[in-house]
Structures are given as C-alpha cells and as structure tokens.
Structure 1
Amino acid sequence: MPYITTADGTQIYYTDQGSGQPVILSHGWPLSSDAWQVELKLLADHGYRAIAHDRRGHGRSSQPWQGNDMDTYARDLAELVEQLDLHDIVLIGHSTGGGEVVRYAAQHGVGRVAKIVTAGAVPPVMVKSESNPDGLPIEAFDAIREGVLKDRSQFYQDLSVPFFGANREGSKVSQGARDDFWRQGMLVGLKAAYDCVAAFSETDFTEDLKALDVPILLAHGDDDQIVPIADAAVKSIELVKHGELKVYAGAPHGIAGEYQEQLDADILAFLVK
C-alpha cells in the first residue's frame, strides 16, 4: 500500500487512481479515504487523477500521540502534495475534511490549488462562543468525547442515524451504509478520535476562508443534523471571494443515495467550469 512519511515520522496512507488533473479528497470524522470510493472511481473514469488519504490517526495511517489538530492535518496534506509533486489541484473535503482543505489551501497551497469543493464542511467555526453566539454549545462536543471514551463502538452505531438522516421519515439510507460508517469509525485510534473533536469544532477558519483566491463550491444539505448549514456554509459563503453555495433540499450530513448522485454530478460540472 502507498504511504508517505511526514517530517515527524507519521506514515500517511493514500490511494491514487487514474491520471490527469489531480483531485485530492479529504474525509470526515471518524472516517477514512474509504468514504470516497465512489468518487475516486467516478473521477478516475472522467479523466482525473483521484487521490484520497487517511488522516493521521485514522484508517490505515499511523496513530501518533501528537498532532491531532487542524494545523498538523493541513501540514500532512502539504507534505503529501509536495512528495507527489502535485500542481493545478482540485481539493474536495467533507465535514472535517472541508476544514482541512480550506486551511491547507490558505496556508500551504497558494500556487498549487486551482479549485475547492466542500460538502457539509465545518468552517467557519462550529462551537458557540462570545464571538460566535450562533454556534453549537461546547456541551454538544463534550457529549461526543464522552461517547467515544465510554463505548465508541455503540456510539458510532448510534451516530450513524443522524449522520445519514435515518431518523427522518422516508429515509432510504441502507443498513450497509450505516455499517460501513461504523467499520471506518472503529479504525480510528481512540486518542485521535477524541482529539479530533476539538480540531473540527473549535478551529476558527474565518481568516482561511477570507484568504482563498480560487473558486470554491460550498455544498451543504439543509437537513444536516451534524453540521447545521446555518452555522457553516451560509456563513462561509459570505467570507470567500469566489464562492458558489449549493443547497441540497432534505439532504443529511452523510454523502449517500440521491444526495451523493446529485453532489457527484455537481462536482463534475464544477471541475470543467
């Protein structure tokens, strides 16, 4: 399996499929690059070089004690890009991965990044504070940490329900999709899973979004129960220079079913604009 080794000795797993303009896909918490299997094939079939990595602590990558923070995630991505010598890159990030690609593009990717797509992404900032009164209370994230520590297997099974909107009338998400969410979650090291909650909830991406000077497609379901759209994409679109907001009616946080089909079609269309 292909890996790169970062400056601090962490091994980052990645998959690399197809040829053409590089498209890097960054996954959400607590998943891995496996979450992008459909998109990897789709992009490669359409003439792109599709690359997806497992964030440190997740999937098949190393599980170091340190570095489970957004700055380090972005540096890891920068090292992957540099070691593969990638240019004219399209970045795609879901949820936590949306934060990772935004920070990478703003702080490391100038001159290398051509376009960005985020889906259900965490920017600008999730947690409630004096400067962000509309955010989610810290208690919501404390509950996630408690669930991970107490019984992460059951917690991931339970979390798959709101993640895919399985608690909504008419939901068509399969048990298989929920099982795969659990499977990927169980590959995350406990320390990484715990620390990453702060990374995705407390990191402020406001200045990163303002710094972006490339086209960005902000995709978000309006029934996202994990990253509410009003606190995320609706605010982010006001901060970026060249943004397009795409709202998916009734879509949840997890990318599956009709939402996945619509999003994938929109990604392909955005890539050729």
Structure 2
Amino acid sequence: MFKIGEFSKLTQVSVRMLRYYDEQGILKPSRTDPVTGYRSYTSEQIPKLQRILFLRDLDFQVNEIAQALAHWQDMPITDLLEHKKLELLAEVAKIQDRVDKIDIAVRDVQARNLDVHCNVILKSIPELSVLSLRRRIPDHFCEGDLWFELNRFVMEEHVALDTGVNNLALFYDENEGDSEVDVEVCCLVKKPGIGRGDFVYRLIAGEELMACVMVYGPYQNIGTAYHTFARWLEEHRYYEMKDTVRQICHLGPFNEENPERYLTEIQVPLKRRD
C-alpha cells in the first residue's frame, strides 16, 4: 500500500488530481481509512491510472473516460479513438471558421471598411405573388440549402418566374434561447400554381412604409449594415419596426463572381409610433 503522497510521487500525478479522480469515481483508492479519511493505493492501480492519463491527453472528458474504462475490454480502443478524432476535427473546423472571420475583420479594419455607410430609403412595396419554402435551419449559413431545394422545384415543375430579380428571403422572429433560424425563401412568380409539401404558393402583403438599405460587397457586410440601420432607428424615433425583415440579393453568387461587387437589399417594414 502507498499513501496518496507516495503514490503521487511514483506516478507523477498530483495529489489534487488523485483526489479529483476519486471524487469523479474513475480511480477510487484501494483503501480509505474510515477514521482519518486517508487514501491508500496499490501498484496494481497504476495501469488504470495510465489509461486515464492517456485518454485525458487526447482531450477525453471525465464522463467519456469513465465510459471508456467501463468498456475497455469489450470495446476496441481504436473505435474510441476514431470517434474522438471525428469530434476534434469538427471542433477544428469551427475554430478555423472563427479564424477566417478574424482575418476578414483584420482586413476590413486595415482597409477602414468596418463601418459600412448605408443610406436608408423609405418606399412602399406592392403585394407579391411568390412560391415559398419555409424551414427552421441551424444557422444563417444553411440558407443556401433552402435556395437549392427551391430552385430544383422550380426547374422540375417548370414554374413561370417573374422577370427581373425574383429572390426574396424573410427572417422571422426567433424565440428566446432558440438557436435555430426561421427562414422563408421565395421566388416571385407570374401566377400562382399548385404547391407540394413544403413548397407553397402564396401572397406576401404589400407594405406602405418600408425602410430599404442597399449593402455593397460580401455578405459579411450585412451584419454591419443592420448596425447602421439600428443607429438610423435611434435617430428617427418616430418610427419602429413592424414586421418580418426581408432580404433581396440583386447581385450574388448566381450572377456575380466577385464578392466585392455583391449587392444585397435589406427591407424592414416600419410603422409610425403613436
């Protein structure tokens, strides 16, 4: 038997961590004195501790380590490692996405483009006849998947689209704590047809008072444009937002190769305050 301090020196694992592993139930002492509470360990426990350290260094969490130890004999370790590798690769992809966004922000700051100056124009919008597809999606980056589905339906059903720019996306209010995004993508059509499943023909009501903001450049500028519009609302307190925000892509991946030339229109229905 080794006292916890002796076992710590033999294994190069701190006393604090040994106590933590005991509390978490993944490495219980061989004996705990019922009076003093002193912990004692044996040399037979060292292989198990080495397995714990091995998994910890591979970023396994305590609950994952406990599960791995419980099934160490009947579950190939390679399966555990492959599963963990996939998790880590997903995390790497998320981190790389954040790094890419930081690089874009740095370039914008260096080019002094961070503050996108947008003019707010008020106009009325007529009633629109559309073919729409509305879904809840994990995030805004998945909007392209909806457009792919809608365009495929248009091609398969030979839908007669209206002339000119005929794409419109509506972003509905999100519930507090809801991480998903409620989006409706629409194509303007010459006449209503027969829908199928999630594909619906409908009329979008006209708006007498619509605030419109033209956003130039890549889609990353859209967030800053909303910030600009928020400042405009603060300065024009006699207006308030009324309904669902709309976005129209005049120039985008479908008709422009250079993202610096993209042109997106944000439309926000307004009403006058009482």
TM range (shorter): under 0.3
Q: Of the two structures, which has the highest relative contact order with CA contacts closer than 8 Å and spacing of 6 or more?
A: 1
TM-score (norm 2): 0.19
| Higher normalized strand content (fraction of residues) | 2
For the pair shown, the structure with the greater C-alpha radius of gyration is 2
